[in-house]
Amino acid sequence: MITPLFTTKAIADGGRQGKVKSENGTIDFSLSMPKALGGKEEAGSTNPEQLFAAGYAACFDSALNMVARQARKRIQSSVAAEITIGKDEDGGFGLAAALYATVTGVSQEEAEMLVEQAHQACPYSKATRGNMDVTLHVTTTNE
């Protein structure tokens, strides 16, 4: 059970061939099925996997910066989330994620530790833990 701090809503009409819109109108996208899934993948449209990837990347990068601040480390970071949809062993569909964190300001070992801590703290990681494969990739730069 959580103590609510913020709630938002998005509405989807028409499934993978429809539209999705957030309650404040900031998100207002047409959806289309990717070609790899047998769809037309129309220009200017998105799909649930892209939306999930965007949310997971933003949330994870925020968690990474939070744990770095708590560790008193000054970093710059970016996170790319790669979401894959595929057939699962039950004959249905499942998801997998690969997170690619690029971290500047700490050693490779420190960056890996911070990314693992972020994986424990990130609400998306918590929600997916035990439900889908998530792999972590960490790169450091000396900028």
Q: What is the pTM of this model?
A: 0.94
DSSP type of residue 53:
H
Are the C-beta atoms of 28 and 19 separated by less than 8 Å? yes
Are the C-beta atoms of 114 and 66 separated by less than 8 Å? no
E strand or H helix that includes residue 120: helix 108-121
| 11-57: pLDDT as tens digits | 999 999 999 999 999 999 999 999 999 898 999 999 999 999 999 99
| 51-104: pLDDT as tens digits | 999 999 999 999 999 999 999 999 999 999 999 999 998 999 999 999 999 999
pLDDT band at 1 (very low <50, low <70, confident <90, very high): confident
> Over 80: is that where the pLDDT of 142 sits?
no
The residue-averaged pLDDT of 123-130 equals: 96
Strand partners, 100: 80, 137
Are the C-beta atoms of 129 and 120 separated by less than 8 Å? no
* 12/28 Cα distance (integer angstroms): 10
Domains in the chain and their CATH numbers? Answer: 1-46 (2.20.25.10), 48-141 (3.30.300.20)
Instruction: Please report the pLDDT score of residue 143 as a whole number.
Output: 65
* 52/27 Cα distance (integer angstroms): 13
The strand pair at 28-30 and 19-22 is best described as antiparallel
